[in-house]
Amino acid sequence: METGFGTVLLTGNVHLMSVTDLDAAGAGVPRTELAARYANSIQEAIYRYKRSHSLLAYLIAAGKSIVAWAVFGLICWLVVRSILILQTSLRRWIFDRPSAATARPVARLVWEKALTVVLFAMKAAAGLFLLFQLSFVISFTLSLFPQTAGISTTFLDYLTETVGAIGMSLIEYLPRGGFVIVVCFFAYYVNQVIRVLAAAAERGDVHIPGVSADVARPTYQLTRLAIIIFALVVVYPYLPGGQSEAFKGVTILLGVLVSLSSGSVVANLFAGIVLTYMRPYKLGDRILVGGTLGEVVHKNLLVTRLRTFKNEEVVIPNSAILSGQILNYSAFAHSGGFILNTTVTIGYDTPWRQVHALLIDAARRTEGVLPSPEPFVLQKSLNDFHITYQLNAYSDRPHEWERLYSRLHENIQDCFNEAGVEIMSPTYLSLRDGNTVALPAEHRPPGYEPSSFRVKL
């Protein structure tokens, strides 16, 4: 509509804009032509808006998004399937070759770990690729609908900035991070090689000087701990944020806490290391420590656990074991046997040869006592009223300690009762004809008669 001020663009009774002669002069075209251009632009914008917000437009956008997500799912399936096929092919190529069956364990370990690294790199690359595809599909889906088209643009800008910032940070950290990766790589594979050697030494397949089969695993554990500590010390300055004041403060705090609370732990740890290489006992041995007799059921660098005859578990710190005395009844049980010993006191009127024979017979009757070496008897002391005899018998069953002693004592009683010999223990006093000499009958003079008591009134 033409007015005195210029051309007015209307839609119904709504005033949209006015085009003046100054506007036309600035555009270098007549006013009516400029007004017509503006009117066409507004009509096209209204048409595009109506078309994009129509039901058909929404259906087309939904169809496109479904197709996009279906294609993304197909890409994911193809990537995962390709990785699985490639993984299977590589494993067959490495481990199903004729030479792989005769390869040494260390060589197989190297090939296996190399395959692990290759597969990890492939999976990482595939993961990044799928992540990029996912972001593209999300952005594409948002751009199909007019309500979320602006979000799509913002999402792409944010994703681009984030990926760019991460990429720049990785590029800047690449020299330091590469050093950390190399150190961790070597530490990991050195540890794996040592683990294989320790397992072979434990089975007896490999002989390592100074490392016997029973200390192979503890040696590996100590070596692994040393490797981890060494690797941490080396890479600490190169870790992200390793030079920050907060990181240093946390490290100092942890150091103080460890130093204040680890006195007994360190003592037990070093005692455990010493006991590991002293090898005073092993799992399954019957030992006596600090008045506790039991079977070793578990041991580590801090404590040793014993199971007593009454099925009680006793936990003993290694520092207490190292500072005391250790009696191992299983050390020579299978090579020469350990000695069961018990004492009885018999009066002087019983011939000592008979006592020896009865005690040895009782030992031979006892189940669990070895016939060779033969049992033997020692006369420990000549007391005022009796002789102390000690029976010694060999056995290779240290885990039946209590039952062996019980059966031995039962047989001693049976043998002495069958022979009519009293076991005078503990010592007792009785009123008797005190003039009779306390000698066996065969050692008394011929026709010997004891003198009678004399009572003076």
Task: Say what the pLDDT of residue 128 is.
Answer: 82
Instruction: Tell me the CA distances in angstroms from 39 to 1, 28, 30, 45, one per residue in order.
Output: 12, 17, 14, 10
The percentage of residues in the chain with a pLDDT greater than 70, rounded to a whole number, is 77
* Residues 286/293, Cβ–Cβ less than 8 Å: yes
Task: Say what the pLDDT of residue 118 is.
Answer: 81
* pLDDT tens string 415-455: 999 988 888 654 555 555 556 666 777 777 887 777 666 66
Within 13 Å and on the Cβ side, how many CA atoms surround 282? 12
Start-to-end CA distance of the chain, whole Å, equals 171
* pLDDT tens string 147-179: 777 777 777 777 777 777 777 777 776 777 778
92-96, 187-191, 287-291, 314-318: lowest mean pLDDT where? 92-96
Burial of 237 (0-12, 13-18, 19+ CB in 10 A): exposed
The alpha helices in 236-303, defined as continuous H runs, are 245-261, 263-278
DSSP per residue, 428-451:
------TTS-SS-GGGSPTT--PP
Query: At 167, phi and psi to the nearest 5?
Result: -60, -45
Q: What type of residue is 411?
A: N
* pLDDT tens string 27-56: 777 767 777 777 777 777 766 766 666 777
The confidence band for 210, taking pLDDT boundaries of 50, 70 and 90, is low
Question: Which CATH architecture fits 272-328?
Answer: Roll (2.30)
CATH fold label, 338-419:
Alpha-Beta Plaits (3.30.70)
Q: Cβ–Cβ contacts within 10 Å for residue 56, how many? A: 8
Burial of 299 (0-12, 13-18, 19+ CB in 10 A): buried
Burial of 377 (0-12, 13-18, 19+ CB in 10 A): buried
**Which residue(s) pair with 9 in the sheet?**
17
Q: Cβ–Cβ contacts within 10 Å for residue 144, how many? A: 19
- What is residue 381's three-state secondary structure? strand
Task: Say what the pLDDT of residue 74 is.
Answer: 92
**Which residue(s) pair with 87 in the sheet?**
none
Give the pTM: 0.49
Task: Say what the pLDDT of residue 260 is.
Answer: 61
Average pLDDT for 206-234: 79
Task: Say what the pLDDT of residue 97 is.
Answer: 64
Task: Say what the pLDDT of residue 438 is.
Answer: 67
pLDDT at 340 over 70: yes
State the virtual CA torsion across 234, 235, 238, 244 in degrees, nearest 10.
-90
Q: Cβ–Cβ contacts within 10 Å for residue 395, how many? A: 21
* pLDDT tens string 80-107: 898 888 888 887 777 766 655 555 566 6
| Structure-token pair, residue 328 | 């191992």
Q: Cβ–Cβ contacts within 10 Å for residue 276, how many? A: 19
The percentage of residues in the chain with a pLDDT greater than 90, rounded to a whole number, is 13
Give the integer Cα–Cα distance in Å for 133 and 426. 94
* pLDDT tens string 357-412: 999 999 999 998 998 889 999 999 998 888 899 999 999 888 888 899 999 999 99
Burial of 391 (0-12, 13-18, 19+ CB in 10 A): buried
Task: Say what the pLDDT of residue 407 is.
Answer: 94
Give the integer Cα–Cα distance in Å for 342 and 382. 17
Greater pLDDT, 258 or 348: 348
Give the integer Cα–Cα distance in Å for 214 and 279. 9
Give the integer Cα–Cα distance in Å for 302 and 272. 6
**Which residue(s) pair with 303 in the sheet?**
317
